[in-house]
């Protein structure tokens, strides 16, 4: 039996950016892209120097890279205060009075912060944190909702060299506690409560529960989003302090000093820790440092989102994920962009909310996730069609493979066949986008995540490390270090080495399976651990799921294997239907025929289970590990479920036996 991953689904459609789009794009042709890519690989130092000219260094770098497996250092010898690139440099240009953040709260309230205002808020908080005794190198936990203050908090930490660890506001008290304990955070920044689907998430209350079981937190700073009438909170004397009280009414002397002459830090100074779920066991504290991370976020934002004066750019991710770090905060602000930020749920008060936000503010670039796109498909086109989306000019996707069906829906119904789509592949560990099609430079193929970005030496290889042939499935690896790569896992160099560098000699293993087609386009077929083995064929989860989702009744699907005495592995698929579709036996028959046709009879599911919802991580990824357990009839879950969005979904799946 071959150990190669097969690929059955072929997608031949190509979508070319319009001439008009390419004419105005930063990179307007494939030839230009290819030349920049060549330079980035052959003369990396020149490439990065030219492309980071806008960034502010206090002392310029002496050496571009130093690489001793597994530790890489970039821009050695440089010193900088990263926030000068994101804030100060804009204060001496027209950007000073331009919106840095246009924020809409879930109830509909709107706030705009110009670059001047954002800078002022950042230095005030930064000064206040030093008053609390925070010094460079201290860890600060941030447990907040989607309010501008969350971005202000991150930047304030960076201003004084404190290392932030943002914990997504949807996490439980236990998850927060574990992350605080692992990072040893000294101060926690939180808020009284956050809006979510019309109700209040009591963040401060959960923070209290978490802090009660930690030893390192000395101060808790509370931002007032709700007000005491709506969300009374208990303030613990000596430990808790209101954000407003801490800042005082006027910028302090210290704030004025920090505004004028911020301290400079080494290029490799730790900027942030961000916990990402390992497939089992405790979360990994991915560590990013300063100059390399900033360079990666800056250069990719500039090229991938093709930012222009007048753009209003909206990344819908939560600030608690890496996408929020790189593409709401550091990347866009370092480019001087105006960023839309929305507090609440996409379906509050109704499933038309995103489209109303776009219409109301005139959003031009939308960057969202396949899981959201599939939810919109399920809710129906009318919600989208009701809004005026003529301001949009570019769309993006991130987080999971986007199935061609969802891709074409996004292109047609949201983009009105007018907006290019950038499908961006990357990871918390990579820090910035690694694969995509630059919007004016290359055609897209629905479902393919495109070509390598600058400096990214990425390949699909067999187990022994040789390159796969075109279209042959294998492991996705990166063969040389890149500036925004994670430097280690917090307090766990060994796990870092084992997780990413020990799998294959001298290369970074992404954990993903992929193939590269005859045009050099990459197709991610799913996590290697999830690859299915059906009747001797090895196939990625994305193939089966895409095939199912291309049936007109299906909104979303997840495929997993279950141990089978005869076949080794039986195929179980979980299917969510579009609204108005009935879950009948007849439909099961039709879906089976559909798989026969799209993939082959060997891939006929042994079991099709209809469900209202799939278990997902809080960032929207399907948790196949849990579905495997459900499929094999386990009554209880083994591993960690702290990243699961809704525990009820699991119970329901178990109860919904055929």
Residue ranges that bind ligand WTA, judged by CB under 6 A: 276, 322-323, 398-401, 423-428, 449, 510-512, 524, 527, 619
Pick between residue 28 and residue 483 the one whose CB is nearest to ligand WTA: 483
> In angstroms, rounded to a whole number, what is the distance separating the alpha carbons of residues 71 and 276?
20
Pick between residue 143 and residue 426 the one whose CB is nearest to ligand WTA: 426
The minimum distance between CB 35 and ligand WTA, in angstroms, equals 25
The minimum distance between CB 531 and ligand WTA, in angstroms, equals 12
Nearest to 207 by CA among 197, 198, 231: 231
Nearest to 5 by CA among 506, 541, 568: 541
Tell me, letter by letter, the H, E, C secondary structure of 399-416.
CCCCCHHHHHHHHHHHCC
Pick between residue 550 and residue 581 the one whose CB is nearest to ligand WTA: 550
> In angstroms, rounded to a whole number, what is the distance separating the alpha carbons of residues 525 and 539?
8
Query: Are 539 and 528 within 8 A, CB to CB?
Result: no
Q: Which residue is nearest to ligand WTA (CB)?
A: 428
Pick between residue 51 and residue 323 the one whose CB is nearest to ligand WTA: 323
The minimum distance between CB 369 and ligand WTA, in angstroms, equals 8
> In angstroms, rounded to a whole number, what is the distance separating the alpha carbons of residues 632 and 620?
23
State both tokens at 262: 């911020």
Residue 371: CB atoms within 10 A of its CB come to 19
Pick between residue 323 and residue 408 the one whose CB is nearest to ligand WTA: 323
| DSSP 8-state assignment for residue 473 | B
Residue 242: CB atoms within 10 A of its CB come to 14
| CA-CA-CA-CA dihedral for 465, 471, 476, 477, to nearest 10 | 50
Q: Which are the contacts of 616, defined by CB distance < 8 A and separation ≥ 6? A: 371, 622, 623, 644, 645, 646, 649
> In angstroms, rounded to a whole number, what is the distance separating the alpha carbons of residues 483 and 501?
17
Pick between residue 191 and residue 408 the one whose CB is nearest to ligand WTA: 408
> In angstroms, rounded to a whole number, what is the distance separating the alpha carbons of residues 653 and 244?
46
The minimum distance between CB 319 and ligand WTA, in angstroms, equals 14
Pick between residue 318 and residue 400 the one whose CB is nearest to ligand WTA: 400
Pick between residue 75 and residue 426 the one whose CB is nearest to ligand WTA: 426
The minimum distance between CB 356 and ligand WTA, in angstroms, equals 26
Pick between residue 134 and residue 373 the one whose CB is nearest to ligand WTA: 373
The minimum distance between CB 622 and ligand WTA, in angstroms, equals 11
The minimum distance between CB 530 and ligand WTA, in angstroms, equals 9
> In angstroms, rounded to a whole number, what is the distance separating the alpha carbons of residues 412 and 464?
42
The minimum distance between CB 578 and ligand WTA, in angstroms, equals 23
The minimum distance between CB 450 and ligand WTA, in angstroms, equals 9
Query: Are 569 and 532 within 8 A, CB to CB?
Result: yes
Strand 219-223 versus strand 240-242 pairing type: parallel
State both tokens at 294: 């900033």
Pick between residue 398 and residue 559 the one whose CB is nearest to ligand WTA: 398
What is the SS3 assignment for 7? coil
**DSSP result, 306-337:** ---TT-EEEE-S-TTSHHHIIIIIIHHHHTT-
Pick between residue 211 and residue 489 the one whose CB is nearest to ligand WTA: 489
State both tokens at 8: 């059955």
> In angstroms, rounded to a whole number, what is the distance separating the alpha carbons of residues 38 and 314?
31
> In angstroms, rounded to a whole number, what is the distance separating the alpha carbons of residues 419 and 264?
41
Nearest to 605 by CA among 554, 535, 540, 524: 535
Query: Are 413 and 395 within 8 A, CB to CB?
Result: no
The minimum distance between CB 190 and ligand WTA, in angstroms, equals 23
Pick between residue 171 and residue 610 the one whose CB is nearest to ligand WTA: 171
Pick between residue 102 and residue 559 the one whose CB is nearest to ligand WTA: 559
> In angstroms, rounded to a whole number, what is the distance separating the alpha carbons of residues 534 and 596?
13
Pick between residue 338 and residue 510 the one whose CB is nearest to ligand WTA: 510
Query: Are 163 and 273 within 8 A, CB to CB?
Result: yes
What is the SS3 assignment for 134? coil
The minimum distance between CB 178 and ligand WTA, in angstroms, equals 18
The minimum distance between CB 571 and ligand WTA, in angstroms, equals 20
> In angstroms, rounded to a whole number, what is the distance separating the alpha carbons of residues 252 and 236?
25
Edge-to-edge, what's the strand order for the sheet holding 607-610?
Answer: 554-564, 568-577, 607-610
> In angstroms, rounded to a whole number, what is the distance separating the alpha carbons of residues 286 and 584?
45
The minimum distance between CB 434 and ligand WTA, in angstroms, equals 9
What is the SS3 assignment for 528? helix
The minimum distance between CB 52 and ligand WTA, in angstroms, equals 22
Pick between residue 262 and residue 399 the one whose CB is nearest to ligand WTA: 399
The minimum distance between CB 522 and ligand WTA, in angstroms, equals 9
């Amino acid at each position: 039996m071959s150990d190669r991953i097969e690929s059955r689904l072929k997608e031949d459609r190509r979508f070319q950016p319009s001439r008009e789009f390419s004419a105005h794009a930063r990179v307007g042709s494939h030839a230009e892209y290819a030349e920049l890519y060549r330079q980035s690989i052959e003369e990396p130092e020149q490439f990065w120097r030219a492309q980071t000219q806008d960034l502010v260094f206090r002392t310029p770098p002496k050496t571009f890279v130093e690489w001793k497996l597994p530790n890489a250092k970039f821009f050695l010898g440089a010193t900088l205060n990263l926030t000068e690139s994101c804030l100060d440099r804009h204060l001496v240009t027209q950007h000073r009075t331009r919106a840095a953040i246009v924020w809409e709260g879930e109830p509909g309230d709107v706030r705009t912060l110009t670059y001047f205002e954002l800078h002022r808020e950042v230095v005030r908080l930064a000064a206040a944190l030093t008053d609390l005794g925070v010094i460079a190198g201290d860890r600060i936990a941030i447990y907040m909702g989607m309010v501008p203050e969350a971005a202000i908090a991150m930047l304030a930490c960076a201003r004084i060299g404190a290392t932030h660890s943002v914990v997504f506001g949807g996490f439980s008290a236990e998850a927060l506690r574990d992350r605080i304990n692992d990072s040893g955070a000294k101060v926690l920044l939180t808020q009284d409560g956050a809006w979510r689907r019309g109700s209040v998430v009591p963040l401060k209350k959960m923070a209290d529960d978490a802090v009660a079981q930690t030893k390192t937190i000395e101060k808790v700073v509370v931002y007032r989003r709700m007000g005491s009438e709506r969300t009374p909170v208990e303030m613990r004397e000596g430990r808790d302090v209101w954000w407003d009280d801490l800042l005082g009414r006027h910028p302090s002397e210290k704030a004025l000093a920090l505004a004028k002459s911020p301290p400079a830090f080494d290029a490799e100074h730790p900027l942030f820790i961000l916990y990402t779920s390992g497939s089992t066991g405790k979360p990994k504290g991915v560590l990013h440092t300063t100059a390399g991370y900033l360079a990666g976020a800056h250069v990719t934002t500039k090229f991938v989102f093709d930012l222009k004066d007048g753009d209003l750019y909206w990344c819908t991710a939560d600030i608690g994920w890496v996408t929020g770090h790189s593409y709401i905060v550091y990347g866009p602000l370092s480019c001087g962009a105006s960023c839309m930020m929305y507090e609440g749920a996409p379906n509050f008060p109704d499933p038309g909310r995103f489209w109303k936000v776009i219409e109301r503010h005139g959003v031009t670039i939308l960057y969202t996730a396949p899981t959201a796109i599939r939810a919109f498909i399920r809710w129906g086109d009318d919600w989208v069609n009701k809004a005026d989306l003529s301001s949009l000019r570019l769309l993006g996707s991130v987080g999971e493979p986007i199935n061609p069906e969802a891709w074409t829906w996004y292109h047609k119904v949201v983009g009105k066949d007018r907006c290019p789509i950038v499908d961006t592949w990357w990871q918390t560990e990579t820090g910035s986008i690694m694969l995509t099609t630059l919007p004016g430079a290359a055609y897209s193929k629905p479902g393919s995540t495109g070509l390598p970005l600058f400096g990214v030496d990425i390949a699909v290889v067999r187990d022994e490390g040789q390159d796969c042939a075109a279209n042959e499935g294998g492991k996705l690896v990166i063969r040389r270090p890149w500036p925004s790569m994670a430097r280690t896992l917090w307090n766990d160099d060994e796990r870092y080495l084992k997780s990413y560098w020990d799998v294959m000699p001298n290369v970074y293993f992404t954990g993903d399976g992929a193939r590269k087609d005859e045009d050099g386009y990459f197709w991610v077929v799913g996590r290697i651990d999830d690859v299915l083995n059906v009747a001797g064929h090895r196939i990625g989860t994305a193939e089966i799921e895409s095939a199912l989702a291309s049936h007109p009744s299906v909104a979303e699907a997840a495929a997993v294997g279950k141990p089978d005495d005869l076949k080794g592995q039986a195929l179980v698929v979980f299917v969510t239907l579009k609204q108005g579709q009935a879950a009948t036996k007849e439909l099961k028959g039709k879906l089976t025929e559909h798989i026969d046709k799209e993939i082959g009879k060997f891939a006929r599911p042994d079991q099709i289970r209809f469900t209202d919802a799939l278990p997902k991580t809080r960032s929207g990824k399907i948790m196949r590990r849990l579905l495997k357990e459900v499929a094999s009839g386990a009554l209880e879950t083994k591993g960690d479920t702290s990243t699961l969005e809704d525990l009820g979904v699991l119970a329901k799946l178990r109860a919904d036996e055929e």
